Structure 1
């Protein structure tokens, strides 16, 4: 892959990047499921949101043993999907495989084993097998679990929720491009809620080792078959393996130095190429430095010309976010007991807060319960403007 990929025009970078990898094996199946799902909701004139969720892996080998990952468990995406469904949207949930899912998130990643929610009822008198009772939900969890189960069953039985998994950053990109194009018949009824933690760096397939990168020296007859590992050195010689530069060379020790290329920023292609005309595109910006958050979010908004960046800090992301929009702010919102809506905020932003870090399923406020209604108001305004007759 060309080292100047980041300097290419977006359409050219798209062509080069997607030619670097074969399409995911599951892509045709996912496309068929998504096409039927979208057609159903186009006919019903229902709004559809594509929620992306969870982290993306960056494989170090073609036959992957090792990969780079991030901490995302998909909490934001899974929680948000539930609130979109409550507001009447149909949801395509493009998620990292084995990350949190809508509704099951309340139990699948609990600090308690899911078996702690269950019990065995006493055997039924006269039953054939007196040694076994029915498996039931424990009394203290009945009300909460019934509510979650009813919501989940309604979403599934009414075809409001489609779950599609990915693992690697390349798979994510293929899925996102394909789904965005399939959503074109939705027009302004389409919403993109890009909550996935997408890797900023990757190893091009052409530079990737075919087999597992070895951690110890190999005899000469086994060397040279692994290809370039994406590191500064291959596995062809002791001097090349050790990359300690000016450090004294240690005995029986070596380092692996990996060269990663930046993943092309395809948000511009999504906004101005793949997505339906008039659709709304929302991205997220996570930072650890509060002095950079609004600047980085506003820069992204200006660069990619989409509609909203939701900024959050790593340390406060579960109870505070900042809305960055192209329009001047209207208000800042504080959901703490002493707070009240008030005018103000950073230029081009709208701040929303909840009082404390909530645990899923607790009495605390989930910040997504504030984010989603406010976001839907913005989407409704876009739809009204798009559908308004020309003056």
Structure 2
């Protein structure tokens, strides 16, 4: 590629970046978040500690400026919150950029709808005979709660965890750019682990409705009737049949509970969405050029997962794509990295909740494909090592171990190699 083509491409990315961020306002809390992140990063850079930015949860797409309606996705932030805990156990300082009200590290164990934290507690009378009570953990859960509490307190005490919330896709992109740029002093010690479920489409601010989008034509009729042609000094005849009919239509237009109105008031809503600009190349080339960058690719079609992960890697020139399928994402992922065979990370069969049948007791963990996408090597689950698992072979419920306990050590190993290569390059200069 010629230098002119490269320069044109670079300037094109910058033009798109400037256009997006100048026309979509940042979140109000951005200055406070930047100040907190800067202090956090400087502290750990001085200690030569690795810092990871973990993004987590879904991004909303508002349909109105005073938002009542928005588009969302299913993400609860499980992958990001769980990964953050294992990064902390591996010695990283963690900036947790998360969707507001999504799952958080440590508290995630007690905030899911199936694990209400109140179910882990009971009321116990005090031993002093005063008749008063105290709240204590149920004996069956005390050991786990104590372990989680100790880890959380240790992270707080050492200032190893900084949590920054976002809500909308625009909030997320402003926060990501700002924090990534602050991570530059970390050099290769910085790691960006982009686990958030980022919206692909949005409504630009200049096309967004100021007020709540109405489901009827009521306000249109009301505004039309309040216009110049509706102004009159003549007294209204309340007995006029035409006036009564008009009043009835106005009332019905604002009444969403009448199942058989005399006039049809409902209307269709057609949403015109723009694609969200892809800023991963900006991240690689400008925002955090020395840090290791990990992205995720979620698909529902097993036939295109690896191909799309490989395409993303080649297009954006970052360091690792972690591919996963919606149906098996808690059981396996695939690492797609430049210059490496695709590596499947799977929950070991002996850590699954029930036996998968005869001949299925193979080893789990990392399985490297030596034959590429067209290879025919197979594991003990009658699946090619380089092919996704068949969901029908998996037991119901959750795995006995969290797959993030396998993912994070593998990411850490690649990050160590990234740091070593950077040191070699700097030493040769």
What TM-score range do you get, normalising by the shorter chain?
Answer: 0.7 to 0.9
The answer to whether the 8 Å contact 2:57/2:76 transfers is: yes
Cα distance per residue 1:123-154 (max 9 Å; x no partner): 33254xx2x21111111110010000000000
Q: Displacement of 1:377 after TM fit?
A: 0.4
Q: Corresponding residue for 1:382? A: 418
SS across alignment from 2:369: coil
Q: Displacement of 1:114 after TM fit?
A: 1.5
2:115 is aligned with 1:77: no
Separation in 1, partners of 2:411, 2:388:
12
2:173 is aligned with 1:135: no
Separation in 2, partners of 1:313, 1:152:
31
The answer to whether the 8 Å contact 1:333/1:351 transfers is: no
- Name the structure with the higher helix share: 2
Separation in 2, partners of 1:330, 1:285:
14
Q: How many matched pairs?
A: 355
- 1:372 corresponds, among 390, 400, 408, to 408
Separation in 1, partners of 2:95, 2:81:
11
Q: Displacement of 1:122 after TM fit?
A: 1.3
SS across alignment from 2:334: strand
Q: Displacement of 1:115 after TM fit?
A: 1.1
The answer to whether the 8 Å contact 1:53/1:96 transfers is: yes
Give the TM-score, by structure 1 length.
Answer: 0.85
Separation in 1, partners of 2:214, 2:157:
49
Q: Corresponding residue for 1:184? A: 184
SS across alignment from 2:91: coil
Separation in 1, partners of 2:65, 2:275:
18
- 1:269 corresponds, among 261, 282, 306, to 282
Q: Corresponding residue for 2:5? A: none
Q: Displacement of 1:194 after TM fit?
A: 0.2
The answer to whether the 8 Å contact 2:52/2:190 transfers is: yes
2:306 is aligned with 1:294: yes
The answer to whether the 8 Å contact 2:292/2:318 transfers is: yes
Q: Displacement of 1:278 after TM fit?
A: 2.2
Q: Displacement of 1:339 after TM fit?
A: 2.5
The answer to whether the 8 Å contact 2:333/2:344 transfers is: no
* Two-structure CA RMSD over aligned residues (Å): 2.6
> Map of 1:217-366 to 2, 5 A cutoff?
217-218=217-218, 219-222=220-223, 251-275=264-288, 277-329=289-341, 332-334=344-346, 335-337=348-350, 338-340=361-363, 343-344=368-369, 347=372, 359=398, 364-366=400-402
Structure 1: unaligned runs, 5 residues or longer: 1-5, 226-249
Larger-Rg structure: 2
Q: Displacement of 1:358 after TM fit?
A: 6.1
Separation in 1, partners of 2:387, 2:404:
13
Separation in 2, partners of 1:16, 1:331:
38
Q: Corresponding residue for 2:213? A: 213
Q: Displacement of 1:365 after TM fit?
A: 1.3
Cα distance per residue 1:2-31 (max 9 Å; x no partner): xxxx99821100001001122211001101
Give the TM-score, by structure 2 length.
Answer: 0.78
SS across alignment from 1:259: coil
Q: Corresponding residue for 1:167? A: 167
